[in-house]
Amino acid sequence: MATQQTQAPVMTELAGQTLMALRTLTEDNPASLDTYIKLGGYSSLKRVVSEKTKATDIITAVKNSGLRGRGGAGFPTGLKWSFMPRYFDGVKYLVCNTDEGEPGTFKDRDIIRYNPHQLIEGMAIAAYTLGARVGYNYIHGEIWQDYEIFEAALQEAKAAGYLGENLFGTNFSFDLYAVHGYGAYICGEETALIESIEGKKGQPRFKPPFPASYGVFGKPTNVNNTESYASIPWILQHGGEAFAALGVPNSGGTKLFSVSGHVEKPGNYEVKMGMPFTELLALSGGIWKGRKLKAVIPGGPSTAVMPAEAILKATMDYDGLSKAGSSLGAGSMIVMDDTTCMVKTLQRLSYFFYEESCGQCTPCREGTGWVYRVITRIVNGQGKMEDLELLTSVSNNIAGRTICALGEAAATPVLSFIKHFRPEFEYYIQHGKSMVEGK
Amino acid sequence: MLSPEATAKIEYELTKYPADQRQAAVMSALRIVQTERGWLSKESITEVAQYLRIPEIAAMEVASFYNMYDLTPVGKYKIAICTNISCMLRDSDVIVDHLKAKLGVDFNEVTPDGKFCLKEGECMGACGGAPLLIVNNHTMHEFLTPAKVDALLEELK
């Protein structure tokens, strides 16, 4: 069976990292097909397709791996796969979400530009497992040069016989295409993304029905994040248990953390789930300019901001961050030093959600603008103390009252910034200027 | 009339979708025509809609929803700079001020010689390289400093 472990997996250590999704990074020409094949690439796909491995066995391996959706929601991937209808008379679709637009998130970009073939192999295995005939990788329009790298990799894979008709002489066929967004954060939401693939405005659909029953062109569709699909070849090569053992209970595997903001070496770091925050911070060079840590948004702005004392004790995994009062999200760690004005930072974030609200649901469309205007009033020195209650109340009335999760995402920064840094907001309102200015 | 180069590219995009789903190619068709013409006039959007055999309003809805489509002229070089949180924390405001002073324009304005337009962008998904900007939607420049911006503007003469 596919998940049988023949030898101990070799993990590549790159300056304290554990490279799995980015395992080609140790090589000279990481994105090339030759490099990927040299590292054992496409062997899992070839094996499951040629040996006609049962779909249920593959899903079991993915379930055993403990892999959870790497796009931010953390939903178990194996369980999601089991929602796809087994028997369906017509084309089923596979979609990959490479639409990174949540501030601080840039991990999937490195997968498509440095290790595109692992993603292609992962999607092909998923297509075989779920009976999908056609796949789309929806890529953020702003990273155009990386879109072109991925399109070139698709051509390479097709020419080498890893995509297309009757793969490995079997009746399994899979066509995979790159498609792109063009500047809309909301398209990271899976049903908005599906609308966008269909050539429409990216406005989320009501769920249910979920994409597994009504997705692209109204057909059953499985949507996963880039990093999730890219984990599949490794899981089938080394076994679900080996993948789970890389991490900690409830958080299997490695995770790519995008570290940005006030660190010496911003960038992506792939480490074992459960790494203490302090180690990850050290990997990224520590706080820049010898300053002190003030706060961290651990998983992108839709996860709650954490003051230094909370994050310094946390481990980087689903349970670790949730116990510490926030969540892992997409692993987009935004680091802020002690010169950061939390009021102005929140103003910028609230402008983002206002700008990116798709306008479909009234609480989000009107609420995000309201929040932005109130925070701007505070920044302009015209704030009133009751504005803090107003911000909380408006945010609470956005969250949970919208079709998609952008409502919660917009409310979370407001609620968590005010909760953890209230004195800074009060100071700004009382003095008409920032507490940290002039430092 | 769409150019033969543009229609060839749109035809390639259409191969990605079922034959009865021509609207799906509207995102790339608008991108292709904009890249060729610099921006999307109402006439350009109509031509795309006609080529794809979809209602004009369907193409217009898409062109006006996604912020990388430009429905007004943006000069020879559109410079979109990200000012979102990760870029802001790494002093994107210094780069913005430098660009505004150097070009003599504010956001959404075109220089009198029609060469440059400055836009404020939203998160471009490359925050590790902050601060950063994109020229004409498709070329990203990361780890910006005022000196790097000067060199870039020199290059774009």
Collapse the DSSP code of A216 into the 3-class scheme (helix H, G, I; strand E, B; otherwise coil) and give the result.
Answer: helix
B138 touches chain A (CB under 8 A): yes
Q: What mean pLDDT comes out for the span B85-91?
A: 97
pLDDT of residue B157: 82
pLDDT digits (tens, 9 = 90+) for A90-149: 999 999 999 999 999 999 999 999 999 999 999 999 999 999 999 999 999 999 999 999
Distance of CA A100 to the CA centre of its chain: 7
Q: What is the C-alpha separation between A108 and A119, in angstroms, rounded?
A: 10
**Crossing angle between the packed helical segments B146-155 and B92-103, to the nearest 10 degrees:** 40
* pLDDT beyond 90 at A3: no
Q: What mean pLDDT comes out for the span A182-203?
A: 97
Name the CA dihedral angle for A353, A357, A361, A366, rounded to a multiple of 10 degrees: 60
Residues B22 and B14 sit within 8 Å (Cβ to Cβ): yes
Q: Which of residues 26-65 of A touch B (CB under 8 A)?
A: none
B7 touches chain A (CB under 8 A): no
With beta carbons under 8 A apart, name residues in chain B contacting A345. Answer: 85, 88-89
Catalogue the long-range contacts made by A74-77 (C-beta closer than 8 Å, 24 or more residues apart): A74/A318, A74/A327, A74/A328, A77/A224, A77/A228, A77/A231
Task: Band the pLDDT of A4: cuts 50, 70, 90.
Answer: very low
* pLDDT beyond 60 at A379: yes
What is this model's ipTM?
0.97
pLDDT of residue B153: 97
pLDDT of residue A13: 63
Tokens 């000067």: give the residue.
Answer: B150
Residues A409 and A302 sit within 8 Å (Cβ to Cβ): yes
With beta carbons under 8 A apart, name residues in chain A contacting B31. Answer: 141, 180, 182
Residues A320 and B104 sit within 8 Å (Cβ to Cβ): no
> Residue A230 corresponds to which tokens in the numbers above?
């890219």
A283 touches chain B (CB under 8 A): no
pLDDT of residue A9: 56
Q: Which residue of B has its CA nearest to A186?
A: B66
Q: What angle do CA A337, A342, A344 make, to 5 degrees?
A: 115
pLDDT of residue A14: 78
B23 touches chain A (CB under 8 A): yes
A92 touches chain B (CB under 8 A): no
How would you class A394 by CB atoms within 10 Å of its CB: exposed for 0-12, middle for 13-18, buried for 19 or more?
buried
* pLDDT beyond 80 at A10: no
pLDDT digits (tens, 9 = 90+) for A260-301: 999 999 999 999 999 999 999 999 999 999 999 999 999 999
Q: Which of residues 46-85 of B touch A (CB under 8 A)?
A: 54, 58, 61-62, 65-69, 83-85
Give the mean pLDDT of chain B: 97
DSSP-H helix ranges across B3-145? 4-14, 26-37, 42-52, 56-65, 85-89, 92-103
Query: HEC profile for A308-338?
Result: HHHHCCCEECHHHHHHCCCCCCCCEEEEEEC
pLDDT digits (tens, 9 = 90+) for B22-67: 999 999 999 999 999 999 999 999 999 999 999 999 999 999 999 9
Residues facing residue A259 across a β-bridge: A267, A333
* pLDDT beyond 80 at A438: no
Q: Which of residues 166-185 of A touch B (CB under 8 A)?
A: 177, 179-185
The DSSP string of A46-91 is HHHHHTT--HHHHHHHHHHHT-B-TTTT--BHHHHHHTS-S--SS-
Q: Distance (Å) from the C-alpha of residue B48 to the closest C-alpha of chain A?
A: 12
Name the percent of chain A lying above pLDDT 70: 97
Which of B62, B124, B137 shows the shortest C-beta gap to A199?
Answer: B62
- Cα distances from B21 to residues A139, A164, A210, A212, B14, in angstroms, run 20, 20, 21, 20, 8
Q: Which of residues 205-244 of A touch B (CB under 8 A)?
A: 217
* pLDDT beyond 60 at A8: no
For residue B154, the 8-state DSSP code is: H
Q: What is the C-alpha separation between B59 and A360, in angstroms, rounded?
A: 19
> Residue A48 corresponds to which tokens in the numbers above?
């499951």
- Cα distances from A434 to residues A70, A106, A339, B146, in angstroms, run 36, 30, 10, 26
Q: Distance (Å) from the C-alpha of residue A334 to the closest C-alpha of chain B?
A: 7
**In this predicted model, which residue has the larger pLDDT, A74 or A4?**
A74
Give the mean pLDDT of chain A: 95
Task: Band the pLDDT of A6: cuts 50, 70, 90.
Answer: very low
pLDDT digits (tens, 9 = 90+) for A303-328: 999 999 999 999 999 999 999 999 99
* pLDDT beyond 80 at A12: no
